[in-house]
Structure 1
Amino acid sequence: MSDKVRMTAMNYDADRPAAKNPVKIMDLSLRDGHQSLFATRGRTEDMIPVAELMDEVGFWAIETWGGATFDTMHRFLNEDPWQRLRTLKKYIKKTPFSMLLRAQNLVGYRNYADDLAYAFVDRAAENGMDVFRTFDALNDYRNFETVVKQIKKCGKHFQGCICYTLTAPRLGGEVYNIEYYVKKARDLEEMGADSICLKDMAGLMSPYDAYALIKELKKHVTAPIHLHSHFTSGMSPMTHLKAIEAGVDIIDTVMTPYAYRTSHAALEPLVMTLLGTNRDTGFDIKKLAVINEILEKEVMPKYKHLLDDSKMSIIDINVLLHQTPGGMLSNLVNQLREMDALDKIDEVYKELPRVRKELGQIPLVTPTSQIVGVQTVNNVLHDTPEERYKMITGQVKDLCYGLYGKTAVPIDPELQKKALKGYPRGEEPITSRPAEVLEPELEKAKAEIGSLAKDIDDQILYAIFPVTGKKFLEWKYGKAEVPDSVKPITMEQVKERDELVKKAKAGKVIEKPENAPEKSEAARTFNVFIDNEYFTVDVDPVGGAPVISASGPAPVRAAAPAPAAAAPKPTAAAAPKNGESVQEVNGTLLTAPMPGMVVRFEKKVGDAVKKGDTIMILEAMKMENALVAPCDGSINAVNFSVGDSVVKGATLAVIG
C-alpha cells in the first residue's frame, strides 16, 4: 500500500460490530466491468495481480466469465476462454466463480442444440464454474430447461434471471409491471432456482420502483433476491439503497476503476454508506484501496485507449428514452461511423422503439439488443418511403420463426410474413420450445474441425463459433501466424505511445526510423483527431492496394480458382495473392453494404444465379445479413474467403 493510502486509511472499523443482516456483494470487475467500459478486452494477465487480494475481500461470488468474454477472448485476444477459468482458480480459491449464461444461447447469439448445451455446461462446471447466472433475452424459460438440468446434475448454483425492461418511463405500464415480474420469479423458483436475479441491463430501474418490486418479490418467493443494475442512467446507486431498504439479499458492484458510465456503481462508496448499519458489508476498505491502486496504476493504462472519452458526462440520460444498453449503443455508433453514416444516429433512436414494438416488445439484452439494433440500422440506411424492412437480418427471421422463443406480445403479422417468405425451415412460425427443432450439433462440429481440435473444449469452442473459432485454433496450435493486433501490450509500450502522442500534440517532429519502409502509391491520407486537435496521417496498407476496388460495373481482377482442398464449403475463389496469375473479368459487382465479416458462401464461382438469390452471408455486429444477386447471371469471381473482414463498399463478387 502506498504512503498516500496508508495516511488516508482511517481506523474506521474500530468497535465495528458485525451486521445482523449484511448485504452480500458480487464483484463484476473481471467480467461485466471491462465488458461495459472497454469492449471486454481485459486480459487474464491483468487479472492475476489482484486475484488473490480479491479472494480475501469476502465477496459472495466473483464474476469471471460468460457474456461476451468467450467470444472476445478467442477472437480479439488470442486467449483460450477455458484456460482463463483454470488460471484464475489457481489464485481465487475461496470465493465462488460466477458466469453469465445466455440459457440456450450459451455464450453465443442464437439458440444451440441440446447436445451442445449439455456439453457446454458440463465443461464449464468441470473447468471451475460455481454459479450459473442464467438468463433468456425473451424471459422464455423453456430455453432454461436443458441447461438447468445440467447445472443441477453438476451440483452447481442455478441463479435464474428476469430481464428487466419497461414500456413506460416507470414500472406499471403495459406488459412489464409488478405482476409480470412476480410471475416470472415464481416460475424460476418452481424450476429450482437457488437465487433470483433482477437483471437491469440498461439501468432503467428507478429507486422507488426497486423498493416496491423487491418488497413484493420477498412476499412471494423464498429464494434470495439479487439485483444487477447498470449505472448508465445514473440511478443505480440510489436504486441500490432503496433495494437494500426493501430487503434485497445480494448487490452487484465493481471496483472503482471499472465503475460508472455504462458499467456499474462502485463498491467502495456503498461499503462506507452501509458502515455501522444492520446491512454493513463487513468489508475492509483498506484492502479495497490496495486493489484499486493496482488496477489504477498497473492495469487501466493498458486499456485507456479503448475508453470512450468523447462525452464529458458519465451519465447517459438518453438510455431512459431508447432503453438501449450502453454496450449496444456504442456498437451502433461504431457501426454507423464505419459506414460514414453517424449523422443518422437520431433517426436510429427514433426508429429503434418502433422496431422493438414490431418485434414483440422484446427486452433489449444480448442477443435481442443486437437483433433490434442492427435491424434498426438496416432500416434507417436501406429502407425507402415505399418499403420498410428491405434488408432483414437472419436473426430477425429466426426470431419471427420462433427460434428464440415466445415474445412478450405478438410480432407484427405483416413483418412476420415478410421475414418468413422463403425461410428455409418454413413460412409458418413454431410454438414449441425452440431447441426441439434443432438438429444435434456437436458430433457434426467434431467431424468438421477434425484433428485441429485437441480436446472437447476445443470442439465446443468451434461448434459455437465455427469461423473465428477455427482461426483461433490455428493460432493456438501454430498452424497460422498470430497477428500483432491480438497480441497484448506492455506498460513500456503504453509509455512509448503516450510519449508519441505528447510529442505530436506539442508539434515536435518524430524522426523516421532507419528500418521504416518507403511509402507506396497505395497510401491514403486520413485526419486523426486527438483532444480536439487534428493531424494529417498517411496510412499505407501492407501488401499493396485491395485487389478489387471498383464501386460499380467495371472490369476487375479475379483469382485463378483455388485448389478444392483449400476452399471453403461451398467453394469460393480466394482473393489473389502476390505472385498469383489474374485475369480480367467483366460483370456486375456485388458490394458490401456495410463493414463486416464473411461467414459463409451460398454460391461458388461458376454457379448460375437468379436476381435475389443469396450469394453469401455477411456478419455485422454479430448479426447475419444475406447478400443477394443484383441480377441474373453466373458467379465469375469472388474476392474474399470465409473469415475475411470487409469494409463498406468492398467488391465481394462479380456476376457476369
Structure 2
Amino acid sequence: MGIRLDGASAFSGAIISPYYDSLLVKVIAQAGDLESSCAKMNRALREFRVRGVKTNIPFLLNVLENQKFLNGNVDTYFIDENPQLFKFTPSQNRAQKLLSYLGTVLVNGPSTPLATPLKPAEIKPHIPAIPIDILEPPRGLRQILLEKGPEEFAKAVRQHNGLLLMDTTFRDAHQSLLATRIRTHDLLNISPYVAHNFHNLYSLENWGGATFDVALRFLHECPWERLIDMRKAIPNIPFQMLLRGANAVGYTNYPDNVVYKFCDLSVQCGMDIFRVFDSLNYLPNLILGMDAAGKAGGVIEAAISYTGDVSDSSRTKYDLKYYTNLADELVKAGTHVLCIKDMAGLLKPKAAGILIDAIRQRQPDVPIHIHTHDTAGAGVAAMLECAKAGADVVDVAVDSMSGMTSQPSMGAVVASLQGTPSDTKFDLRNISEYSAYWEQTRTLYAPFECTTTMKSGNADVYLNEIPGGQYTNLQFQAYSLGLGEFFEDVKKAYREANLLLGDIIKVTPSSKVVGDFAQFMVQNKLTADDVLNKAEELSFPKSVVEFLQGAIGEPHGGFPEPLRSKILKDMPRVKGRPGESLDPLDFGKLEKDLREIHPTITEKDVMSAALYPQVTNDYLHFKEAFGPVDKLETRIFLTGPKVGEEFDVTIEKGKTLGIKTLAMAEDLTVNGEREVFFEMNGQLRSVFIKDKEAVKELHIHPKADKSNKNQVGAPMPGTVIDIRVKVGDSVEKGAALIVISAMKMEMVVQAPKAGKIASLNITQGYKLEGDDLLLTME
C-alpha cells in the first residue's frame, strides 16, 4: 500500500499486489483542493481492472471516502484507529466471470442440460411498443388490495361485472409446455407491455411451484430477484404464486417457521395472492399454508385439487359431496378466494357446470377461481361453462403459450364472451401483439418443447391423469433415465402406479410419487401384479416409501393395503400433520454456516437454502464462478455464441459490455485447458477452460451380474448422494445401503438379503449407469 499527500492539492496512490512484488502502478490525481483531488482518484481507481491477482484498491477506496481523511485531519495513527478501512466487499469482476461462462459453454457444452437435440432459434423477439408519453401504467386491482386489504379485494372481485382472467403465461404455461425453463430475461422484456395493456387482469401468475427450484437448479438465477424485478416493471397487476401448503415451494415438509418466514419474505418482495393447495387435499397442511399466507398480509386463495369426475356417478371416491364439504371447510378456515385446481385438465364441461353451481349455491359471497389445463382440448369449453355457472375468475394463457398441457387460450375465451354478460373487456389486438412476442420467444426454448412428442391435445389424460405441469418434466426425466422411447409405457404405468397407491390426488409432490413409481416400473419391466407380488423384495423410489410412511400427509380414503405393509415392513410411520413434530429451523445458524462459504449472501439466499440446501449451495458456487449469467440473451445462455459473433450484455443500468467471440485454441495446455479468445469493449481478453472430454480418463465401471445374488446393481442411472454402509458391516434384509439421485428423484437401494458388505464399488458423487455394480455382499 502506498499513500502520499502533496500539499492540499494532490493525492498519489500506489496499487500493489500482495502476491507479486513486481506489480506496482502509481496513480496521481491533482486538483485545487484535497476533496476534489480525492474525488478524481476515487474515479480513477474504480475504473481500474487488474485481473488474476488481489490488490489494495478496495482499501484505498475506503480511505478516499473516509470523512476524517477528506478533512485532512489524519496522523500516523489514522489506520490503527479506523479498522473499518479493511472491511470491504471484494470486486465482483462480473465481466471476466461472464467470459469464463461463455468459454465453458463453448468448450464443454451447455451448463443447463438440453432435453432434446433441437437448438434455440437465432431470433431476437420483437417487443411490442408502449406509449412513450404515458409514464405510469393504468390502475389495476392491485391498487384496491394495497389501499383496502385482502377482504375488500375479495369483495371487489365478487362484485366485478364480467369474467376476470388470471394470466398463467409467466409461470404455469411455460412449466407445462417448456419444462419451466423460461428465463427472467424474457419475462422482463414483455413486462412493461403487460402492465400497460392488461391492467384489468385479476392477477398474473409468475412465481412459486416449480419455478423456484428450476430457477436455482437449471437457470442459475435467483427466484427472489425475479420477483423483485418484475414487481418494479409491473406495479399495477396483482401477482399470484402457487404455495404447496406445508411444503412451501419444495417437495417435502418443513418446520412451520420456514413456511411462515417464506410467505413473509415473499410479500416483502412483491407477492400478493397465494394459491394454497395440498397435494392430497389434506386439511391440516392446507390450513397451515393459509395461515402463513394470511399472517404475511397476502390474499389467501385456498385451492381444492380436483380429480375423478363428478359427472360420472360410477366414480364415487371423489364425488360432489367430497368437494362441497371441502369448500365449506376452507371458507370456514378463512380463505378470501376459493379455487378449484384442475391440475390435469380432468374437469369436463358437464362436470364443471355441476361442481361450480353446487359450490356457488352454498357459498354465494366467496369469489370462485378456476384453474385447468387444456391437455384433452376441452379447456375453453369447460371455462365457458364455469363462467356460466357462477365462477368469477378463470385461468388462461396467451394464445401462443396455450393449449395442450398449458391453460386454455386467452384469445379464445375473450372472443367467446364478447357481447355477453361475462364479457372480459380485453382488446383482441393487444392479445395478438402479446401472443406474437411469445410465439417468437418460445422458439428460443426449442430444446424443452413438449411438442417434440405431443403434437396435439390428447384425451388419454382422462385415463392416466398426469398433471399438465408434470407432463414435460416427466418426459424429460424419462429421457434422462434412458426411457425416452418408452414414454407411452411410462404414461400407462402412471395410471397403474396411481391405482396401486389407492387412486390418490396427483399434484406436486404426490404427483412426483406417482411419476417416480411409474418410471421405476418401466425401468424394471414390472407390471402391477409384479409389484404386489414382489413388493417385499424390491427397492422402491425414496418418494414412494416416504409417501407410504405418511411424510406428505394422509390421502383421502387412507393408505393402500397390503402394499403399504409389504413395502414398509417395520419402518416408522408418521401420524398427524408431518411438519408438526419438526423442530423450528435455526435461521441464525443456517446463515452463519452459509456465510462461512459464501460471504456475500443475502436474506433471500438464506431462505432459499432453508428450502433447497444443496441446490442453493450449488447455485451460489455457480454465481461466484460465472457471475450474472441471467443477463445474457437466452440463445447465448443456453448454447453459447458463435465464433465471430458480436453481442451486448447489460449487467446493470448504464453498464453494457460489448463482446465478440474471436477464436478457440485447438491445442490443449499441459493442464488440459483450451484458451478461448474474446474482444470485450474493444480489448482482447482470453480465458482458459478445462476441456472435460479431452482430459477424461477412460474408465469402464463393472456391471452387476444379475445371476449373482451377492452383487447389488444400480436400479437406475444417477448420482450416488449417500453411502450408508462400509465394508465389513453386517446388514439385515431391507436395510438401506445406497441413495441414488437422478432428475430430483431419489431412490434408496436396499439389501436384497441379510449378510456382510464384502466390497464397495462406488464413492460419494459417483455417476452411475443402470446396472452398474454398487457393492458385493457375502
Specify the alignment match of 1:434 in structure 2. Answer: 578
| 8 Å contact from structure 1 (residues 77, 488) kept in 2 | no
Amino acid aligned to 2:382? T
Query: Any unmatched runs of 5+ in structure 1?
Result: 6-18, 498-512, 519-538, 555-586
Q: Mark the CA change 1:600 to 1:460 in structure 2 (over 3 Å): closer, same or farther.
A: farther
Specify the alignment match of 2:701 in structure 1. Answer: 549
| Aligned-partner Cα distance in 1 for 2:245–2:508 | 11
How far off its partner does 1:182 sit?
Answer: 0.7
Q: Mark the CA change 1:646 to 1:122 in structure 2 (over 3 Å): closer, same or farther.
A: farther
| 8 Å contact from structure 1 (residues 77, 486) kept in 2 | no
Moved more, 175-184 or 630-639: 630-639
Q: Say which SS state the counterpart of residue 335 (structure 2) adopts.
A: coil
Specify the alignment match of 1:256 in structure 2. Answer: 399
Alignment of 1:214-233 (within 5 A): 214-221=356-363, 222-233=365-376
Amino acid aligned to 2:193? L
How far off its partner does 1:188 sit?
Answer: 0.9
| Aligned-partner Cα distance in 2 for 1:445–1:591 | 36
Amino acid aligned to 1:436? E
Q: Mark the CA change 1:151 to 1:176 in structure 2 (over 3 Å): closer, same or farther.
A: same
How far off its partner does 1:268 sit?
Answer: 1.3
| Aligned-partner Cα distance in 2 for 1:651–1:487 | 42
How far off its partner does 1:329 sit?
Answer: 3.7
How far off its partner does 1:154 sit?
Answer: 2.0
| 8 Å contact from structure 1 (residues 378, 392) kept in 2 | yes
TM-score by length of 2: 0.67
Q: Say which SS state the counterpart of residue 541 (structure 1) adopts.
A: helix
How far off its partner does 1:294 sit?
Answer: 2.3
Q: Say which SS state the counterpart of residue 145 (structure 1) adopts.
A: helix
| Aligned-partner Cα distance in 2 for 1:655–1:516 | 47
Amino acid aligned to 1:641? Q
Q: CA RMSD in A?
A: 3.6
Question: Is 1:142 aligned with 2:284?
Answer: yes
Question: Is 1:40 aligned with 2:163?
Answer: no
Alignment of 1:218-367 (within 5 A): 218-221=360-363, 222-297=365-440, 299-311=441-453, 313-341=455-483, 345=487, 347-367=489-509
| Aligned-partner Cα distance in 2 for 1:633–1:485 | 50
Q: Say which SS state the counterpart of residue 626 (structure 1) adopts.
A: strand
Amino acid aligned to 1:41? R
Amino acid aligned to 2:230? L
Specify the alignment match of 1:118 in structure 2. Answer: 260
| 8 Å contact from structure 2 (residues 535, 563) kept in 1 | no
Question: Is 1:163 aligned with 2:305?
Answer: yes
Q: Mark the CA change 1:440 to 1:156 in structure 2 (over 3 Å): closer, same or farther.
A: same
Amino acid aligned to 1:324? I
| Aligned-partner Cα distance in 2 for 1:456–1:600 | 29
In the TM superposition, what whole-angstrom CA distance separates every residue of 1:278-313 from its partner, at most 9, and x where no partner exists?
21111122222222222223x222112221333474
Specify the alignment match of 2:622 in structure 1. Answer: 475
Match of 2:764 among 633, 636, 641: 641
| Aligned-partner Cα distance in 2 for 1:312–1:173 | 28
Question: Is 1:594 aligned with 2:716?
Answer: yes
| Aligned-partner Cα distance in 1 for 2:772–2:289 | 41
| 8 Å contact from structure 1 (residues 608, 635) kept in 2 | no
Amino acid aligned to 1:399? F
How far off its partner does 1:325 sit?
Answer: 1.8
Specify the alignment match of 1:452 in structure 2. Answer: 597
Match of 1:89 among 231, 234, 238: 231
| Aligned-partner Cα distance in 1 for 2:286–2:388 | 31
Larger Rg: 2
Q: Say which SS state the counterpart of residue 379 (structure 1) adopts.
A: helix
Moved more, 385-394 or 196-205: 385-394
| 8 Å contact from structure 2 (residues 717, 769) kept in 1 | yes
| Aligned-partner Cα distance in 2 for 1:597–1:495 | 27
Moved more, 215-224 or 382-391: 382-391
In the TM superposition, what whole-angstrom CA distance separates every residue of 1:407-439 from its partner, at most 9, and x where no partner exists?
11122222121232242xx2xx44422222223
| 8 Å contact from structure 1 (residues 467, 599) kept in 2 | no
| Aligned-partner Cα distance in 2 for 1:341–1:323 | 20
How far off its partner does 1:141 sit?
Answer: 1.5
| 8 Å contact from structure 2 (residues 311, 350) kept in 1 | no
In the TM superposition, what whole-angstrom CA distance separates every residue of 1:377-430 from its partner, at most 9, and x where no partner exists?
32344348451472222222222222222211122222121232242xx2xx44
| 8 Å contact from structure 1 (residues 232, 319) kept in 2 | yes
Specify the alignment match of 2:635 in structure 1. Answer: 490
| Aligned-partner Cα distance in 2 for 1:74–1:68 | 10
TM-score by length of 1: 0.78
| Aligned-partner Cα distance in 2 for 1:600–1:112 | 21
Specify the alignment match of 1:582 in structure 2. Answer: none
| Aligned-partner Cα distance in 2 for 1:356–1:553 | 32
Question: Is 1:98 aligned with 2:236?
Answer: no
How far off its partner does 1:269 sit?
Answer: 1.9
Q: Mark the CA change 1:365 to 1:240 in structure 2 (over 3 Å): closer, same or farther.
A: same
Q: Mark the CA change 1:484 to 1:189 in structure 2 (over 3 Å): closer, same or farther.
A: closer
How far off its partner does 1:75 sit?
Answer: 0.3
Q: Say which SS state the counterpart of residue 693 (structure 2) adopts.
A: coil
How far off its partner does 1:460 sit?
Answer: 2.1
| 8 Å contact from structure 1 (residues 171, 178) kept in 2 | no
How far off its partner does 1:324 sit?
Answer: 1.3
Query: Any unmatched runs of 5+ in structure 2?
Result: 1-124, 130-158, 643-662, 669-690
Q: Mark the CA change 1:396 to 1:311 in structure 2 (over 3 Å): closer, same or farther.
A: closer
Specify the alignment match of 2:544 in structure 1. Answer: 396
Specify the alignment match of 2:520 in structure 1. Answer: 378
Identity level (%):
30
Amino acid aligned to 1:419? I
How far off its partner does 1:328 sit?
Answer: 3.0
Specify the alignment match of 1:565 in structure 2. Answer: none
| Aligned-partner Cα distance in 2 for 1:306–1:341 | 17
Alignment of 1:521-536 (within 5 A): none
| 8 Å contact from structure 2 (residues 401, 435) kept in 1 | no
| Aligned-partner Cα distance in 2 for 1:653–1:455 | 42
Specify the alignment match of 2:747 in structure 1. Answer: 625
Alignment of 1:151-190 (within 5 A): 151-166=293-308, 170=312, 173-190=315-332
| 8 Å contact from structure 1 (residues 34, 40) kept in 2 | yes
| 8 Å contact from structure 1 (residues 374, 623) kept in 2 | yes
Question: Is 1:464 aligned with 2:587?
Answer: no
How far off its partner does 1:241 sit?
Answer: 1.0
